[in-house]
Amino acid sequence: MQRRHLLSQIAALSVGASLGAPAGAQGKYPQRPITLVVPTAPGGTTDFTARLITEPLSRALGQSVIVDNKPGASGNIGNQLVARAKPDGYTLLVSYSGYHVGNPHLFKQAGWDPIKDFTPVAMMTRAPQVIAINPKLPVNNLTELIAYAKANPGKLNYASSGNGSIQHIAGELFKQLTGTFITHIPYRGSGPAVQDLMAGQVDLFITTPAGVVSQIQGGRLKGVGVTSQKRLTSLPDVPTTTEAGLRGFELDSWFALYAPANTPADVVQTLNTEINRILSSGEARKKAEDSGTDVEQMSPKQLADFTQSELKRWGQIIQTARITVE
């Protein structure tokens, strides 16, 4: 009789636990593979950042971490997918600042909200932009590029990873600051844009270093400026835009991890702790530096505050530059 009563109590407790426990409390997270959604094509810094953490994060958590590239619609396809995913920590977004805080100011209906639809998890990398050109272009430096563009209005074109991306914003700011007319050609990510730049299908690409460092080092592309306050160690011969005579053209991009809104706090903290540990390692820092990026760490709260401030800042930049989605 006592045994039967004890068993019934255990059963009642089990039912209560299964019905009332939060998502992260039914077993130590994670219990199955995790997917990192990258809203760009393979190649480029968003994809690089995702792959920078996949293997060490998989080892740390004891589960596979998979990169799933979902390019298209200027990042809106990948962002929508994660915004609508179950908030259980198994579908995450490796977000690119150009999309995350740029798109909300450029699209009337992007299909997602950068604040309401996502839980900030961890900042990961930050990078300036490199002005890369096709080597066959008859110029050797930034001054000559600007002079050539002025002498040939409408002849040159520039690539971006999509309408509203920071590459798009950078291209329009470049045109405003230099008084040139260059045609915008949007792509579905940095990878395809770099391929066409090397092939001569486009003339100019202002993008993060990870996608072009090796091509510039190998002579397949030419770097004429870096939009940072100091030169990159991976491209020591490429001057900053200020050194090259183009003042006021300093831009950077950042790449961070977000989960769907309402993801359990313990899951978010587990991910943040492990990712910050990975980014603190010499191996991660060296890989990032070699690609022209810097690792950066934040708590979920710091990333939340940073996202809010960047959303406001880029809204002002886009409005001032009068950039619209074509």
- Tell me, what's the pLDDT at 162? 81
Before 138, cis peptide (omega within 30)?
Answer: no
DSSP conformational letter for 235 = B
For the chain, the structural domain boundaries read 32-126+254-321, 130-226
Across the chain, what does the average pLDDT equal?
90
CA dist., res. 299 & res. 322, Å (int): 34
CA dihedral 306, 309, 315, 317 (to 10 degrees): -90
- Tell me, what's the pLDDT at 26? 53
Closest listed residue to residue 253, CA positions, set 41, 97, 44: 97
For residue 82, pLDDT over 80 is answered with: yes
Fold of 130-226: D-Maltodextrin-Binding Protein; domain 2 (3.40.190)
> What would you measure as the largest C-alpha separation in the chain, in angstroms?
97
For residue 29, pLDDT over 60 is answered with: yes
**Span 209-262, pLDDT tens digits:** 988 999 999 999 999 999 988 899 899 999 999 999 998 888 888 999 999 999
> What average pLDDT does range 283-301 have in this prediction?
94
Tokens for 214, please give them.
Answer: 């090796």
- Tell me, what's the pLDDT at 292? 87
- Tell me, what's the pLDDT at 22? 43
- Greater pLDDT, 321 or 113: 113
Handedness of CA 103, 106, 108, 109 (dihedral sign): negative
For residue 17, pLDDT over 60 is answered with: no
DSSP conformational letter for 32 = S
> What average pLDDT does range 58-69 have in this prediction?
98
E strand residue ranges, the chain: 34-38, 65-69, 91-96, 118-128, 130-133, 157-160, 183-186, 204-207, 222-226, 252-260, 294-295
306 C-beta neighbours (distance < 10 Å), count? 18
Strand, helix or coil for residue 125: strand
**Span 163-203, pLDDT tens digits:** 778 888 899 889 989 999 999 999 988 889 999 999 999 99
Fold of 32-126+254-321: D-Maltodextrin-Binding Protein; domain 2 (3.40.190)
20 Cβ contact partners less than 8 Å away, ≥ 6 residues apart: none
- Tell me, what's the pLDDT at 211? 87
Contact 127, 252 (CB under 8 A): yes
The yes-or-no answer to whether 32-126+254-321 and 130-226 have a common fold is yes
| DSSP annotation string for 300-315 | HHHHHHHHHHHHHHHH
| Total-model pTM | 0.79
Which segment of 85-89, 103-107, 154-158, 299-303 scores lowest on mean pLDDT? 103-107
- Percent of the chain at pLDDT > 70 equals 92
- Tell me, what's the pLDDT at 9? 41
Can you give the length of the chain in residues?
326
Tokens for 298, please give them.
Answer: 């934040």
